[in-house]
């Protein structure tokens, strides 16, 4: 099964304390940022700090670096430094088909994959093409803030302005069997708002959500983990399936409802995720 | 070994099995005089038999807002008295003027459970002529009732005092709530003076009985109530502190001792407070109600009392004005003396504790904890109730980040042993939880959980990988402070700091 990517925490590349402690908040992935959260005069310092940290420390999380945009004067230096680092993915901001092509070329000979940041109106319209440009491109993140600037609309807590973009990128990602991560919730002191926003994203099909503060991780992880109820129900389905198989029955019912293949597949997936998250042990299935 | 100003026949600490003193002194004062009032401190001091070598006591309920200690010591200095021992329950940065008196030989010895600020620095650099004795909150009572310390004069900052000398901390413009640390001073001092800025005819409810008080003096102000709030009574927003707090709350939950009627104590630091925040959620979720919370009390613990999560609060000291309000209004918020709180010769509250959450500046591989000095050997605190509660509580939990910038928490050996590792059960850090190997019961219970249990050696390895191993701090030969365990045995001696 693919990696679990419930949460991805942005860490400003020029903040030593956060870089040092990035791994302690149980975020499934860390995104060391060389782009928006780093001031122009700090770009080289951030690049150096991230390089040193990744070469020195061992991290448990999936490691991603967001580099400077293709058309910026820092792109070349960023990519040169990143190519040699033990990272899993590069997050390409303001992604386009051309951008992915350039990055793909640069990454030849490395094991580094690409994640695209969809944050423009054109990017949303072209998302299927962008994701299909390269085998290395494993998934996407939606960037709501920049997108709203492009759409000339206000970013709201309800996120209604992002509805179309969210649905479109999820559909494209799922059509290509790639992952999709929702835009961050920017009010770091509104836990309830974060929970609602994450629940809505999960309901649309997102695999996880970006975080801009470590305090957001717990809520995000909880929302994107299978619930206790889901786990129990899935275990019952799999148990019933095993009995039905033994008895040679093709079809069976639970609580009066027919259980067919898609339901079994979903139950299998939930239990697989739950096991990976240690929410259920191997014995629980017996 | 001879230490200047310390008893000669002292015993060294060997284990947490307490050495109890067989002969205790009991208070027998009964001053019923109606002529206790003096209208100025000067007039009173002219009357008192002041002499060189006296021991003068103070309490610290006004914390960093206290005016009384400086006020009294300034007058004593003016009277050309020397070689004074200050027996204060704690000293804070506001007591900076004492440094000058130390340098002039007016103050030559200090007893306290906690010292921070300029006085602590002066002691660390060897300026005090004799030794500084750092005891625990419970140990302070033991010092007096065992006769190790005889208080000649006690000056008791009194938020409200009536004509008979009855004292209440709950009322008045300088109200500080409980007066737990001052009770011993009143009961045992040769002469006890109430210094008040709210002198009234009569009060019905008081923490200190008038018969122990010999004189009463009115002054314009005994302290700044803002100083009572120690500044660390807000729940931390630091994500690392929050993670540690969450893990600590889970340690409580899965320890096997989390059940209806459990008892709990936590400090006023941001991370300790955050433990209460998460504990509150877990208590609600599992419908568990506690019997009592104790110690220094903050507004946050008051909220838990008011929400019905605890039946009672036993309060030896109020950490903020919310706690002061509550102790005045709520009959289940009960003021207790330092003796009732933590004295080994009393039926102390700490012995009924299930859980205590404590901090650490250093901890070593045997779980010994230092909260007395910084990692460079300068005094910046002290036990307070640390060693007392660790000894009494069923589960003692230390919460601390594994490192603070480049300073590691875990050392091969702590620079100063405040609390013995024998009485410390769990260390919770952001990168894992270490359990004292002797607590096999806890280890067994945690096996069935997702808690990140590791050994303390593994945590040290992680630290060393990040920070390297710091060089040892070089200290001089002179013993500047003796660290007493709660039973009066010497658990450590702190040597002079030579340079910055």
Per-residue model confidence as pLDDT tens digits over B213-226: 999 999 999 998 77
Are residues A218 and A243 located together in one domain of the fold?
A: no
Of A224, A244, A275, the last residue of a domain is A224
State the Cα–Cα distance between residues B117 and B103, nearest whole angstrom. 16
Contacts of A215 in chain B (CB under 8 A): 237, 239, 242
- Give me the mean pLDDT over the A175-203 stretch: 97
Strands B290-297 and B199-200: unpaired
Look at residue B232 in the predicted model and tell me its pLDDT: 58
Number of inter-chain CB pairs under 8 A, A vs B: 21
State the Cα–Cα distance between residues B184 and A227, nearest whole angstrom. 55
Contacts of A17 in chain B (CB under 8 A): 405
| Interface predicted TM-score (ipTM) of this complex, two decimals | 0.85
Instruction: Label each residue of A190-243 as H, E or C.
Output: CHHHHHHHHHHHHHHCCCEEEECCHHHHHHHHHHHCCCHHHHHHHHHHHHHHHH
- Cβ A213–B246 below 8 Å, yes or no? no
B233 pLDDT exceeds 90? no
Look at residue A286 in the predicted model and tell me its pLDDT: 47
State the Cα–Cα distance between residues A198 and A203, nearest whole angstrom. 9
Look at residue B269 in the predicted model and tell me its pLDDT: 74
H-assigned helices in B95-162: 97-103, 118-124, 137-145
If interface means Cβ-Cβ distance under 8 Å, which residues of chain B face chain A?
A: 237, 239-240, 242-243, 246, 405, 430-431, 450, 465-466
Could you tell me if B242 and B307 are in contact, meaning their C-beta atoms sit under 8 angstroms apart?
A: no
Which candidate in B243, B402, B405 is best for mutational testing of the A interface (most A CBs within 10 A)?
A: B243
| Residue B232 lies inside a defined structural domain of this protein | no
Q: What percent of chain B has pLDDT over 70?
A: 99
Are residues A114 and A135 located together in one domain of the fold?
A: yes
Are residues B180 and B113 located together in one domain of the fold?
A: yes
Residue A36 CA: distances (Å) to CA of A13, A43, A69: 10, 10, 10
B280: CB partners within 8 A, 6+ apart: B304, B307, B309
Are residues A253 and A135 located together in one domain of the fold?
A: no
Q: Read out DSSP for chain A? A: -PPP-SEEEEEETT-HHHHHHGGGG--SEEEEESSTTS-GGGHHHHHHHHHHHHHHS--SSEEEEE---TTSTTHHHHHHHHHTS--SEEEETT--HHHHHHHHHHHTTS--EEEEEE-SHHHHHTHHHHHHT-TTEEEEEE-HHHHHHHHT----SS-GGGHHHHHHHHHHHHHTT-EEEEPPP--TT-HHHHHHHHHHHHHHT-SEEEESSGGGHHHHHHHHSPPHHHHHHHHHHHHHHHHHHHTT-S-EEETTEEE-HHHHHHHHHHHHHHHHTTSS-GGGG-
Which candidate in B239, B246, B432 is best for mutational testing of the A interface (most A CBs within 10 A)?
A: B239
- Cβ B430–A278 below 8 Å, yes or no? no
Could you tell me if B345 and B356 are in contact, meaning their C-beta atoms sit under 8 angstroms apart?
A: no
Are residues A83 and A188 located together in one domain of the fold?
A: yes
Which candidate in A21, A188, A189 is best for mutational testing of the B interface (most B CBs within 10 A)?
A: A21
Are residues A12 and A112 located together in one domain of the fold?
A: yes
The answer, for A278 touching chain B at a CB cutoff of 8 Å, is yes
Are residues B62 and B94 located together in one domain of the fold?
A: yes
Range in A27-36, B22-31, B190-199, B278-287 the model is least confident about: B22-31
| Residue B168 lies inside a defined structural domain of this protein | yes
| Residue whose C-alpha is closest to residue B167's, from B148, B186, B141, B191 | B186
Contacts of A24 in chain B (CB under 8 A): 240, 243, 430-431
Contacts of A20 in chain B (CB under 8 A): 466
Which candidate in A24, A26, A53 is best for mutational testing of the B interface (most B CBs within 10 A)?
A: A24
Look at residue B145 in the predicted model and tell me its pLDDT: 96
Of B227, B256, B275, the last residue of a domain is B227
Residue written as tokens 């307070």?
B384
| Residue A61 lies inside a defined structural domain of this protein | yes
Contacts of B246 in chain A (CB under 8 A): 218
| Residue B244 lies inside a defined structural domain of this protein | yes
- Cβ B405–A24 below 8 Å, yes or no? no
B12 secondary structure, DSSP code: B
Q: With bands split at pLDDT 50, 70 and 90, how would you rate the model's confidence at B1?
A: confident
Are residues B122 and B56 located together in one domain of the fold?
A: yes
Are residues B348 and B280 located together in one domain of the fold?
A: yes
pLDDT in tens, B52-89: 999 999 999 999 999 999 999 999 999 999 999 999 99
State the Cα–Cα distance between residues A78 and A67, nearest whole angstrom. 6
Q: Which two tokens stand for residue B207?
A: 């923490």
Are residues B337 and B366 located together in one domain of the fold?
A: yes
pLDDT in tens, B133-176: 999 999 999 999 999 999 999 999 999 999 999 999 999 999 99
Are residues B193 and B292 located together in one domain of the fold?
A: no
Are residues A153 and A250 located together in one domain of the fold?
A: no
Output B368 or A258, whichever has higher pLDDT.
Answer: B368
pLDDT in tens, B294-317: 999 999 999 999 999 999 999 999
Are residues A277 and A153 located together in one domain of the fold?
A: no
Of B430, B450, B465, Cβ closest to residue A24: B430
Are residues B134 and B193 located together in one domain of the fold?
A: yes
State the Cα–Cα distance between residues A201 and A186, nearest whole angstrom. 15
**Average pLDDT score, chain B:** 95
Name the domain count of chain B.
2
Strands B355-358 and B395-399: parallel
- Cβ B430–A214 below 8 Å, yes or no? no
Of B227, B254, B269, the last residue of a domain is B227
| Residue range of the domain that includes B172 | 37-227
The answer, for A213 touching chain B at a CB cutoff of 8 Å, is yes
| Residue B25 lies inside a defined structural domain of this protein | no
Could you tell me if B64 and B94 are in contact, meaning their C-beta atoms sit under 8 angstroms apart?
A: yes
Length of chain A: 286
Output A256 or B45, whichever has higher pLDDT.
Answer: B45
- Give me the mean pLDDT over the B393-400 stretch: 97
| Residue A178 lies inside a defined structural domain of this protein | yes
Burial of A111 (0-12, 13-18, 19+ CB in 10 A): exposed
Q: Which two tokens stand for residue B181?
A: 């640390």
Are residues B199 and B244 located together in one domain of the fold?
A: no
Instruction: Tell me the CATH number at B132.
Output: 3.40.1080.10
Are residues A245 and A207 located together in one domain of the fold?
A: no
Are residues A138 and A254 located together in one domain of the fold?
A: no
Instruction: Tell me the CATH number at A174.
Output: 3.20.20.60
Q: Which two tokens stand for residue B413?
A: 């050996």
Of A224, A239, A270, the last residue of a domain is A224
Q: Read out DSSP for B178-195? A: --GGGHHHHHH-SEEEEE
Look at residue B404 in the predicted model and tell me its pLDDT: 85
Of A20, A24, A213, Cβ closest to residue B243: A24
3-state secondary structure of B94: helix
Are residues A181 and A244 located together in one domain of the fold?
A: no
**Average pLDDT score, chain A:** 93
Name the domain count of chain A.
2
Greatest CA span in chain B, whole angstroms? Answer: 69
B429: CB partners within 8 A, 6+ apart: B244, B399, B400, B401, B402, B409, B459
Could you tell me if A168 and A127 are in contact, meaning their C-beta atoms sit under 8 angstroms apart?
A: yes
- Give me the mean pLDDT over the B388-412 stretch: 94
Question: Which residue in A has a C-alpha nearest to residue B237's C-alpha?
Answer: A215
The answer, for A195 touching chain B at a CB cutoff of 8 Å, is no
| Residue range of the domain that includes A274 | 228-285
Question: Which residue in A has a C-alpha nearest to residue B448's C-alpha?
Answer: A281
Of B242, B431, B466, Cβ closest to residue A215: B242
Are residues A120 and A249 located together in one domain of the fold?
A: no
B417 pLDDT exceeds 50? yes
Output B251 or A261, whichever has higher pLDDT.
Answer: B251
Residue written as tokens 């459970």?
B113
| Residue A245 lies inside a defined structural domain of this protein | yes
Look at residue B98 in the predicted model and tell me its pLDDT: 98
Output A243 or A125, whichever has higher pLDDT.
Answer: A125
Are residues A72 and A214 located together in one domain of the fold?
A: yes
Could you tell me if B186 and B211 are in contact, meaning their C-beta atoms sit under 8 angstroms apart?
A: no
């Amino acid at each position: 099964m693919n990696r679990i990517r419930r949460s991805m925490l942005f860490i400003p590349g020029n903040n030593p304390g956060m870089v040092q402690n990035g791994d302690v908040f149980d975020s499934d992935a860390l995104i060391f940022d060389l782009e928006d959260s780093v001031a122009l005069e700090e770009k080289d310092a951030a690049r150096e700090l991230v390089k040193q940290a990744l070469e020195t420390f061992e991290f448990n999380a999936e490691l991603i670096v967001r580099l400077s945009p293709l058309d910026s004067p820092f792109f070349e230096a960023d990519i040169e430094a990143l190519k040699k680092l033990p990272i899993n993915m590069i997050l390409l901001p303001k992604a386009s088909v051309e951008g992915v092509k350039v990055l793909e070329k640069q990454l030849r000979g490395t094991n580094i994959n690409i994640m695209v940041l969809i944050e423009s109106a054109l990017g949303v319209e072209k998302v299927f093409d962008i994701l299909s440009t390269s085998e290395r491109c494993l998934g996407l993140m939606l960037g709501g803030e920049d997108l709203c600037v492009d759409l000339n609309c206000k970013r709201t807590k309800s996120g209604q302005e992002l509805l179309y973009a969210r649905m479109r990128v999820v559909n494209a990602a799922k059509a290509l069997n790639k992952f999709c991560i929702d835009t961050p919730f920017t009010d770091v002191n509104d836990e309830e708002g974060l929970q609602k926003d994450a629940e809505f994203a999960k309901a649309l099909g997102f695999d996880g959500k970006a975080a801009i503060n470590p305090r957001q991780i717990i809520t995000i992880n909880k929302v994107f983990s299978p619930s206790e109820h889901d786990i129990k129900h899935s275990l019952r389905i799999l148990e019933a399936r095993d009995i039905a198989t033994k008895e040679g029955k093709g079809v069976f019912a639970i609580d009066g409802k027919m259980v067919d293949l898609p339901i079994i597949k979903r139950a299998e997936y939930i239990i697989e995720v739950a096991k990976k998250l240690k929410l259920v042990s191997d014995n629980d299935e017996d | 070994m001879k230490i200047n100003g310390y008893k000669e026949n002292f015993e060294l600490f060997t284990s947490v099995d307490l050495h109890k003193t067989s002969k205790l002194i009991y208070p027998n004062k009964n001053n019923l005089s109606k002529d206790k009032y003096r209208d100025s401190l000067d007039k009173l001091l002219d009357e008192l038999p002041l002499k060189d070598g006296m021991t003068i006591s103070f309490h610290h309920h006004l914390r960093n807002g206290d005016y009384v200690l400086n006020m009294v010591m300034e007058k004593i200095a003016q009277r050309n008295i020397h070689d004074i021992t200050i027996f204060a329950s704690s000293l804070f940065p506001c007591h900076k003027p004492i440094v000058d008196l130390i340098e002039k030989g007016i103050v030559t010895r200090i007893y306290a459970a906690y010292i921070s600020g300029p006085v602590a620095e002066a002691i660390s650099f060897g300026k005090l002529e004799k030794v500084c004795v750092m005891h625990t909150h419970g140990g302070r009572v033991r010092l007096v009732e065992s006769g190790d310390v005889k208080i000649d004069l006690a000056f008791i900052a009194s938020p409200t005092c009536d004509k008979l000398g009855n004292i209440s901390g709950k009322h008045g413009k300088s109200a500080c709530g409980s007066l737990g640390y001052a009770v011993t001073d009143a009961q045992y001092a040769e002469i006890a003076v109430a210094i008040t800025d709210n002198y009234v005819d009569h009060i019905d409810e008081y923490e200190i009985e008038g018969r122990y008080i010999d004189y009463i003096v009115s002054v314009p102000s005994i302290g700044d109530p803002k100083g009572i709030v120690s500044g660390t009574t807000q729940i931390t927003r630091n994500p690392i502190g929050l993670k540690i707090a969450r893990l600590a709350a889970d340690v409580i939950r899965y320890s096997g001792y989390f059940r209806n009627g459990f008892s709990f104590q936590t400090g006023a630091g941001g991370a300790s407070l955050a433990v209460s925040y998460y504990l509150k959620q877990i208590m609600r979720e599992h419908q568990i109600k506690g019997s009592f919370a104790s110690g220094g009390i903050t507004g946050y613990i008051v909220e838990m009392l008011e929400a019905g999560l605890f039946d009672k609060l036993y309060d030896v000291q109020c950490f903020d004005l919310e706690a002061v309000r509550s102790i005045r209004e709520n009959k289940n918020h009960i003021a207790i003396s330092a003796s009732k709180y933590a004295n080994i010769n009393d039926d102390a509250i700490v012995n009924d504790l299930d859980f205590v959450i404590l901090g650490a500046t250093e901890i070593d591989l045997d779980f010994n904890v230092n909260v007395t000095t910084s990692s460079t050997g300068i005094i910046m605190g002290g036990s307070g109730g640390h060693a007392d509660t660790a000894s009494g509580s069923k589960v003692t939990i230390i919460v601390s980040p594994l490192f603070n910038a480049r300073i590691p928490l875990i050392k091969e050996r702590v620079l100063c042993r405040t609390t013995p590792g024998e009485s410390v059960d769990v260390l919770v850090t952001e990168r894992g939880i270490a359990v004292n190997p002797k607590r096999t019961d806890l280890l067994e219970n945690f096996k069935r959980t997702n808690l990140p249990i590791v050994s303390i050696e593994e945590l040290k390895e992680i630290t060393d990988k990040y920070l390297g191993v710091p060089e040892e701090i070089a200290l001089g030969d002179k013993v500047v402070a003796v660290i007493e365990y709660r039973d009066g045995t010497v658990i450590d001696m702190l040597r002079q700091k030579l340079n910055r």
